[in-house]
Amino acid sequence: MTTTAPFQTSDTTIAVTPAERSARGFLGWLMAPERRGALLITPAIVTLVVVNIFPLLWSYGLSFFSYNAKYITKPPRWNGLGNYIDLFTDPEVWGRFQNTAVIVVGSVFLQLVIGFLLALLFAKEFPLRRYLLMLVLAPMMLSLSAVGVFFRLFYEPTFGFIPRSVQAIHFWLTGVDEPVVILDTPVKATLAIVFADAWMWSPFVMLLVLAGLVSVPKYLYEAAEIDRASAWRRFSTITFPYIRSLLLLALLFRTIETFKIFDVPYVLTEGGPGTSTETVSVYLFRVAFNYFRTGSASALGYIVLFGVIVLTSLYLYAIQARGSAAAEPSD
Amino acid sequence: MSKRDIRAVGIAGWGRTLGAAIISLIYFFPVLFIILTAFKTRQDALAWPMKFIFAPTLSNFVSVFFRTSVEGGDAEATGFGLYFFNSVFIGGTSVLLALIIGTAAAYGFSRFPLRGNDTYLFMILTTRMMPPIIAIIPIFVLFRIFGLSGTYVGIIALYTAFNLPFSVWMVKSFFDDLDRDIEDAARMDGSGEWRVFKKICLPQVYAGLAATFVFAVILTWNEFVFALMLTSPETRTVPAQIVRTIGGSMGVDWGLMSALETLFIIPVVLVTFALQNQLLRGVTFGTIRR
């Protein structure tokens, strides 16, 4: 670098004559200022291509074959669009998508409601707020598999504290003392998963809503107070516009993540009773590693991936919209 | 503000504290329950109504690592010492690698935008949003073909790639937050690009790098699907082993299960406390900043 570096930004750089450049050789060519950005991101891109993208492309190829990963040496057999056609016409697959959709809708809805209420609770400053906030935020950072194990213990029919508590409340209300089993019917098992997942992720929504709430300028509330605006009006015209974009991001983000839900049903219910809580991811795991229909699993993976990419694009679009709407004074 | 006003605010504030304390404790109760149960004897763990006051015991924690498999026999190692070591070793190594590669890329994305910068960033985020269950199918097969299944090299390479998108987005958000004027002043004074990076940009994001490191270590520590399918008994991490034990004879021993879970989650809970200010950025991969 010469001492007369341009000071605006670094993408306009000092002119180097071809002669000078050839004198520096390959290394000089490689280190040239205009190649700096590419040079810096190359290791990351290469790692991702080797470990992520290549296997994905490989499984894209596999999705057109019949293949069993148990017998690695046995060559795959061409199946054309067979795997996809089978999947689209298989009621089992649609059943798994329905199970997932029910869990997504139930859990994300609960997360938004609970997260929002928690955020209202923590919106104002009060003594010990920081420490109490930590208790509420902790579930979000736990391992998904640990949460599965937790609730498996809590729902356990004889000793779990949740069925025993429900039994006690039921006895207190009706005078009938009978054991409660949580995971025995499809509806209850689905609710059990929704409850566990919502418990874990409501703090996430709270965190986003809190970020929106603290960004509301105080003077707006003061002005509203002078105008004697009702609480509802204050909320709908001042608070809500500030948290709207963040709520949308929370909704999209949690929808993507819950759509992928695997660990909790896998550990907690193992998809049961029957297949009523078997989500797409758990089913995918079964097809791939219990039945070893690797080609078919790859095809289903691609269908799921398509959904995730669509949702991710929406999420990024929402982020950009929020960023460019900086006129809306949320940051 | 008069003295009286201050006291009024104080009382109202403590009222909110009380309400928030009750709600927070209810919310935290599942975690608290596990931690308490870890210190209980077998009888206390199963007692109903549940006991909040009891004589604590550490025997469950000892049993996590050493216990007798047959009645009256000698205590044997359960292997959890190794699994905890694996979790730390694999997590630490892969996150360090991801952070080195990721910081370079983040600096590139932030300071030297390429044509198609957004496309690369989108590609990187998509690999992170991708369900691990989809990635695991081809990787499982390829790892077996290349003999990487169950090796440290394989799982560390995989976790490095797994942590890379997160590192890039996080660190990029920290670089984006920096004030450019200082760098430009340094350039005007004749600092080379390497010097600008090393002496000006990097020191300003040390705290951010530390937060990213800790965050990624938690994500790796918690990761379950890859660990379940791609580790051997020698390289197995804690979550993969916990789920294996739950169906077995250990699954009915509540104190033991809780002790195991407590050891597994306590580092995470403590770190969460320390990371509170970076939590929002972390859980959204740096796409949302405070």
d(CA A113, CA A199) in angstroms, rounded, equals: 11
Residue B174 lies in a domain: yes
Chain A environment of B17 (Cβ under 8 Å): 126-129, 132
Put simply, the answer to whether B30 touches A139 (Cβ < 8 Å) is: yes
Put simply, the answer to whether B134 touches A312 (Cβ < 8 Å) is: no
Q: How many CB atoms lie within 10 A of CB A207?
A: 27
Which residue bears the tokens 């492309």? A57
Chain A environment of B266 (Cβ under 8 Å): none
For chain A, what is the mean pLDDT? Answer: 84
Could you give the domains of chain A? 91-327 (1.10.3720.10)
**How far, rounded to the nearest angstrom, does the alpha carbon of residue A128 sit from its chain's CA centroid?**
30
* pLDDT level of residue A128 (50, 70, 90 thresholds): confident
Put simply, the answer to whether A149 touches B165 (Cβ < 8 Å) is: no
Chain A environment of B125 (Cβ under 8 Å): 312, 316
pLDDT of residue A206 exceeding 90? yes
d(CA B237, CA A252) in angstroms, rounded, equals: 31
* pLDDT level of residue B29 (50, 70, 90 thresholds): very high
pLDDT of residue A330 exceeding 50? no
**A61 contact B CB<8A:** no
**A180 or A47: which leads in pLDDT:** A47
Put simply, the answer to whether A39 touches B280 (Cβ < 8 Å) is: no
What are the tens digits of pLDDT across the range B96-140? 999 999 999 999 999 888 888 888 888 888 888 888 888 898 899
Selecting from B108, B120, B138 the residue whose C-beta is nearest the C-beta of A58 gives B138
Backbone angles phi, psi at A34, to 5 degrees: -70, -10
Which residue in chain B has the smallest CA separation from A125? B13
Put simply, the answer to whether A52 touches B161 (Cβ < 8 Å) is: yes
Backbone angles phi, psi at A155, to 5 degrees: -90, -5
Selecting from B113, B137, B185 the residue whose C-beta is nearest the C-beta of A297 gives B137
ipTM rounded to 2 decimals: 0.87
What are the tens digits of pLDDT across the range B130-183? 888 888 988 998 898 898 988 999 999 999 999 999 999 999 999 998 888 888
Put simply, the answer to whether B33 touches A253 (Cβ < 8 Å) is: no
* pLDDT level of residue B274 (50, 70, 90 thresholds): confident
* pLDDT at A235 (0 to 100): 83
* pLDDT at A12 (0 to 100): 45
Residue B289 lies in a domain: no
Q: Which spans in A31-160 are helix H?
A: 36-48, 54-62, 82-89, 91-122, 129-141, 144-154
Residue B28 lies in a domain: yes
Which residue in chain A has the smallest CA separation from B286? A319
**A39 contact B CB<8A:** yes
In a shared domain, residues B156 and B197: yes
Residue B115: which CATH number? Answer: 1.10.3720.10
Selecting from A5, A118, A152 the residue whose C-beta is nearest the C-beta of B246 gives A152
In a shared domain, residues B199 and B64: no
Min Cα–Cα distance to chain A from B277, Å: 10
Chain B environment of A139 (Cβ under 8 Å): 27-28, 30-31
**B267 contact A CB<8A:** no
pLDDT of residue B48 exceeding 50? yes
Q: Which of B55, B76, B97 is the last residue of a domain?
A: B76
Min Cα–Cα distance to chain B from A322, Å: 10
Chain A environment of B172 (Cβ under 8 Å): none
Selecting from A47, A134, A267 the residue whose C-beta is nearest the C-beta of B243 gives A267
* pLDDT at A331 (0 to 100): 38
* pLDDT at A1 (0 to 100): 40
Range among A299-313, B88-102, B184-198 rated most confident: B88-102
Q: Which positions 228-267 of A are in contact with B (Cβ < 8 Å)?
A: 246, 249, 253, 256, 260, 262-263, 267
**B132 contact A CB<8A:** yes
Put simply, the answer to whether B222 touches A142 (Cβ < 8 Å) is: yes
What are the tens digits of pLDDT across the range A230-244? 888 888 888 888 888
In a shared domain, residues B48 and B104: no
Q: Compute the C-alpha angle A82/A88/A92, nearest 5°.
A: 110
Residue B290 lies in a domain: no
Min Cα–Cα distance to chain B from A2, Å: 7
Are the C-beta atoms of B169 and A56 separated by less than 8 Å?
no
Put simply, the answer to whether A150 touches B34 (Cβ < 8 Å) is: yes
Of B20, B59, B15, B68, the C-alpha closest to B38 is B59
Residues A234-261 as b/e (b if ≥16 CB within 10 A, e otherwise) read: beeebbeebbebbbbbbbbbbbbbbbbb
**A27 or B5: which leads in pLDDT:** A27
Selecting from A56, A148, A159 the residue whose C-beta is nearest the C-beta of B46 gives A159
What are the tens digits of pLDDT across the range B209-257? 999 999 999 999 999 999 998 998 889 999 998 888 876 655 567 888 8
In a shared domain, residues B239 and B106: yes
In a shared domain, residues B222 and B155: yes
In a shared domain, residues B17 and B146: no
* Average pLDDT of the segment spanning A262-291: 90
Which residue in chain B has the smallest CA separation from A163? B48
* pLDDT at B272 (0 to 100): 85
* pLDDT level of residue A94 (50, 70, 90 thresholds): very high
**B27 contact A CB<8A:** yes
In a shared domain, residues B107 and B43: no
In a shared domain, residues B65 and B144: no
In a shared domain, residues B62 and B193: no
**B6 contact A CB<8A:** no
Are the C-beta atoms of B239 and B44 separated by less than 8 Å?
no
Chain A environment of B192 (Cβ under 8 Å): 1, 5
Residue B288 lies in a domain: no
**A104 or A315: which leads in pLDDT:** A104
**pTM assigned to the model:** 0.86
In a shared domain, residues B91 and B125: yes
Q: How many domains does chain B divide into? A: 2
d(CA B96, CA B197) in angstroms, rounded, equals: 19
In a shared domain, residues B183 and B274: yes
Which residue in chain A has the smallest CA separation from B169? A44
* pLDDT at B39 (0 to 100): 92
* pLDDT level of residue A224 (50, 70, 90 thresholds): confident
A4-13, A97-106, A272-281: segment of lowest average pLDDT: A4-13
* pLDDT level of residue A3 (50, 70, 90 thresholds): very low
Q: In Å, how far are A60, A275, A288, B115, B140 from A53, measured between CA atoms?
A: 10, 32, 19, 21, 14
Chain B environment of A152 (Cβ under 8 Å): 246
d(CA A54, CA A51) in angstroms, rounded, equals: 7
Side-chain-side CA neighbours of residue A269 (13 Å): 29
Domain ranges, residue B161: 80-283
Min Cα–Cα distance to chain A from B187, Å: 6
* pLDDT at B77 (0 to 100): 77
Selecting from A52, A121, A161 the residue whose C-beta is nearest the C-beta of B135 gives A52
Percent of chain B with pLDDT over 70: 92
Chain B environment of A129 (Cβ under 8 Å): 17, 20
* pLDDT at A130 (0 to 100): 87
* pLDDT at B16 (0 to 100): 84
Put simply, the answer to whether B218 touches A62 (Cβ < 8 Å) is: no
pLDDT of residue A11 exceeding 50? no
**A284 contact B CB<8A:** yes
Q: Which of B57, B76, B95 is the last residue of a domain?
A: B76
Q: Which of B19, B41, B76 is the last residue of a domain?
A: B76
pLDDT of residue B72 exceeding 80? no
In a shared domain, residues B140 and B242: yes
* pLDDT at B68 (0 to 100): 72
Percent of chain A with pLDDT over 70: 90
